[in-house]
């Protein structure tokens, strides 16, 4: 009962007031946290950290070529061997092993030549 009496005696504006917020400090802190999140995201993407943590270093995509709207040819390096794969939304088909492995620079030149021939 005394608590109710105290509530009625105290003016309502005193009860409604909260701590004062320093908006400049709040904005600076928020920008710092958002900037840190963006920076860490870019760093993880640049370092390809997920592939390092959970991926295999024995498997690498050497080159890709779009042959349709959603179909691709991919050259994948597995250990020392390179395989040509056909990739569609429904399946991945092994088309064969390459007799002469592609060097990544060669793959870039082959793809560049393919896009020039299309234009």
Check residues 83 and 9 and name the one with the higher pLDDT: 83
Q: Is 6 contained in some domain?
A: no
Q: Please tell me the predicted confidence (pLDDT) of residue 77.
A: 86
Same domain membership, residue 103 and residue 62: yes
Task: Order the strands of the 59-66 sheet from edge to edge.
Answer: 59-66, 72-78, 81-87, 92-97
Please tell me whether residues 75 and 95 are part of one structural domain: yes
Q: Give the residue, 17 or 90, on which the prediction is more confident.
A: 90
Same domain? For 45 and 95 the reply is no
Q: Note if the pTM is more than 0.85.
A: no
Inside any domain, residue 1: no
* Residue span of the structural domain in which 91 resides: 56-118
User: Which residue carries 């080159």 as its tokens?
Assistant: 63
């Amino acid at each position: 009962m005394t608590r109710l009496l105290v509530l009625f005696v105290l003016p309502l504006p005193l009860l409604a007031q909260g701590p004062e917020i320093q908006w400049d400090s709040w904005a600076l802190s928020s920008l710092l946290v958002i900037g840190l999140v963006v920076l860490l995201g870019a760093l993880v993407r640049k370092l390809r950290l997920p592939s390092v943590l959970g991926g295999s270093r024995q498997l690498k995509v050497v080159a890709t070529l779009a042959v349709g709207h959603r179909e691709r040819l991919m050259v994948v390096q597995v250990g020392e061997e390179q395989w040509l794969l056909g990739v569609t939304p429904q399946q991945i088909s092994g088309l064969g092993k390459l007799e002469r492995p592609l060097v990544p620079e060669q793959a870039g030149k082959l793809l560049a030549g393919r896009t020039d021939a299309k234009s």
